[in-house]
Amino acid sequence: MKAILEFLSKNNRWAVVLVIILLLLGGGLWKLQRNKINEWKDKYQTEVKLKNALVDTVHYYKNSYGEVVAEKLTLQASVKDLEKIRDQLTAEQQELLRRVREANKKNTVITAALIKAEFIIDSLMAKGPVVINSKDTTITFSDTTKYLEYQLVVGKAIPVRPDIEPTLLFKHLRFPNTQEVKFEWENNKKEGYPIKFSIANSSPYYKVNEINSYAIPNLKKEVINPTGWEKVGIWLKKNGKIVGYVAGGVVIGAGGTYLLMK
């Protein structure tokens, strides 16, 4: 060790070169290891998000507007990867995959959703204005509310005779409804940032029975909506070479010659 130190002290230039080589090798190995860890981490997070989305079911809750919201995790995977596990997909998920695959032939699909809903009236009592017309033997029911507008005409109702069958005419029937559809991060603090899809209906007569949604796998919260630290990380990635040049500056000799290393 003493001999090595004496050699380095006598050969200052070689010592600097040796140190630089060691730093470069160490930095290269560290960067390679870091990239490998990030690759494994991304792959693990992708697998976990897909697994959770495959077994998730529709959740219902009321939002601040009093509307019923249906919510479910989004499938975050490439079409190619979803094709590999096609047997694990439900019939609705397979239909969504087919539609995304077809749409991708024209343009890249970023997000998509397939919603199975129906209009349900458990019971409805017509309590609006009633118009009785004895001339054409009809009774007209009509009403206008926030979620329901109708005008129903019962024909052949007056007079009632066994040989005449009454008729019911839906002259006007309308169900006003406003839908709010959202793709959003399930939890801003949850690693991997899974995406969830939700749909809210203002009308209580609309019932969402099933939701299946899709998003391309490279949608990342830290890129689209980064936190303060994530912004620093993105800046360092963009300006890594400049930082490397500055940090790698080594003074050689008394003349102040600079050797800048990546």
Domain-located, residue 78: no
> Which positions ≥6 away from 70 have C-beta within 8 Å?
58, 59, 60, 198, 199, 200, 208, 211
- Reported confidence tier of residue 95, pLDDT bands at 50, 70, 90: very high
Query: Contact at 8 Å (CB) between 213 and 74?
Result: yes
Helix (H, G, I), strand (E, B) or coil at 44: helix
Query: Contact at 8 Å (CB) between 199 and 179?
Result: yes
User: Could you give the number of structural domains in the chain?
Assistant: 2
Question: Helix 12-55 vs helix 2-10: angle between axes, to the nearest 10 degrees?
Answer: 110
Domain-located, residue 79: no
Residue 21 scores a pLDDT above 80: no
Query: Contact at 8 Å (CB) between 57 and 72?
Result: yes
Helix (H, G, I), strand (E, B) or coil at 55: helix
pTM above 0.75, yes or no: no
> Which positions ≥6 away from 37 have C-beta within 8 Å?
none
Which of 113, 138, 163 is the C-terminal boundary of a domain? Answer: 163
Query: Which pLDDT does position 243 carry in this prediction?
Result: 39
Query: Contact at 8 Å (CB) between 124 and 173?
Result: no
Helix (H, G, I), strand (E, B) or coil at 60: strand
Pairing relationship of beta strands 149-155 and 167-174 according to DSSP bridges: antiparallel
Domain-located, residue 16: no
Query: Which pLDDT does position 189 carry in this prediction?
Result: 57
Residue 23 scores a pLDDT above 90: no
Note the pLDDT tens digit of each residue in 193-231.
789 999 999 999 899 999 999 998 877 666 555 555 454
Going edge to edge, which strands form the sheet with 206-215?
Answer: 75-76, 206-215, 111-119
User: Structural domain of residue 140, as residue ranges?
Assistant: 130-163
> Which positions ≥6 away from 91 have C-beta within 8 Å?
none
Query: Which pLDDT does position 174 carry in this prediction?
Result: 87
- Apex 41 CA angle, 72 and 223, nearest 5: 65
Query: Which pLDDT does position 7 carry in this prediction?
Result: 58
Query: 19: number of CA atoms within 13 Å, CB side?
Result: 15
Amino acid 93 reads Q
Helix (H, G, I), strand (E, B) or coil at 187: coil
Domain-located, residue 202: no
- Reported confidence tier of residue 253, pLDDT bands at 50, 70, 90: very low
Query: Which pLDDT does position 242 carry in this prediction?
Result: 40
Torsion of CA 26, 28, 31, 37, to 10 degrees: -80
Q: Extract the tokens encoding 160.
A: 């009632």
Domain-located, residue 40: no
Domain-located, residue 238: yes
Going by C-alpha positions, the residue among 242, 239, 240, 237 that lies closest to residue 260 is 242
Query: Which pLDDT does position 65 carry in this prediction?
Result: 92
Which of 140, 163, 186 is the C-terminal boundary of a domain? Answer: 163
Note the pLDDT tens digit of each residue in 120-170.
887 777 777 889 888 888 989 898 888 888 898 988 887 667 777 778 888
- Apex 18 CA angle, 14 and 23, nearest 5: 150
Residue 44 scores a pLDDT above 90: no
Domain-located, residue 111: no
Domain-located, residue 241: yes
Helix (H, G, I), strand (E, B) or coil at 99: helix
Which of 120, 147, 163 is the C-terminal boundary of a domain? Answer: 163
